[in-house]
Amino acid sequence: MDFKVSVIIPLYNKENLIQDAVASCQNLPQVGEIIIVDDGSTDNSLKIAKELESKNLKIKVLQHADKKNHGRSASRNLGIKNALYNFISFLDADDTYCSNRFNNEEKIFEDKNIDGVYGIVVAKFDSEEYENEFNKNGYRIITKVDDDVKSNDVFKTLLHLDKGLFQTNAITLRRNVFDRVAYFDTNFPISQDLHLWCKIASVCKLVSNNDKKPVAVWHIHGTNSVLKENDKREKIKEKLYIDLLKWSIKRKDLSFNTQNEFFYSAEPFLKGKSEIAHLLYFIIKSPFLIIHSFFWIKIIQIIKNGRF
């Protein structure tokens, strides 16, 4: 198997960090290309990226058609659609890969039933202040899916966040996954990665890289979004989980049990005190979805179990 990866780096005002990000992956033998998508930077980021491009044939710099800022989702999507290779990974412009980033993945991907491989990420802090803020917001210094999570349970783990999660810098996916499932949703300025990973994990087979060492470093600094957007993440949860439920009900390739998991994840945000009240509230909010079989199977299940 020819295992070559397209690494996609969304770039916005990271003039002091983009060179380190590129340096961390440009010499990895599995990296076929590095796609830097400038997202309307107003500093010297684009200039530096183009200088890097001129020195290395692996590097390709893209911009949005209007050269304006469109956000991380649109930038990653643009990179995916312009990728040359069959495997896709992501790297934020202020983070870095470790030398073992793809070491175990070629062998794992020989199994054509496996759609994605995830690993471990470690956080690195510019100051003790940032580390304290990071910890206060409930993040882990080591970001990983717990070791006892089997591939069949990755979806539930991501949806309920009860046994860890993988970070975007540590997932590699077959390129066709995005056409089969979804791309990043541009309606979500934050948490867009978790939103997409829940969708993909419900349809595809994702497995661990079986490497106990981190494969990427998450750089926590003064302008890092994880320190600035935590309150926004809490506020967007309702929109995120209800949107996932709507999406799941429209998918004909998802089982009732999988759709039901999406329903349970959205329940805290649905009005009413009972399961039937939650269901009726959701139908009122999205009446066009009543044509889907999920609702009728769910109603029958509620009646049989007496959960009114």
* Cα→Cα distances 94→32, 149, 220, 286, Å: 21, 29, 9, 40
pLDDT in tens, 61-98: 999 999 999 999 999 999 999 999 999 999 999 999 99
Q: What are phi and psi of 209, to 5 degrees?
A: -80, -5
For residue 52, name the pLDDT band (cuts at 50, 70, 90). very high
Average pLDDT over residues 105-127: 96
Q: d(Cα 33, Cα 24) in Å, to the nearest integer?
A: 13
H/E run at residue 114: none
Non-local CB neighbours of 234 within 8 Å, separated by 6+ positions: none
pLDDT in tens, 17-46: 999 999 999 999 999 999 999 999 999 999
pLDDT in tens, 228-237: 776 777 789 9
Q: d(Cα 128, Cα 220) in Å, to the nearest integer?
A: 10
Average pLDDT over residues 134-138: 81
Non-local CB neighbours of 171 within 8 Å, separated by 6+ positions: 89, 90, 116, 117, 118, 119, 197, 206
Instruction: Report the candidate in 223, 237, 230, 136 with the shortest Cα–Cα distance to residue 195.
Output: 237
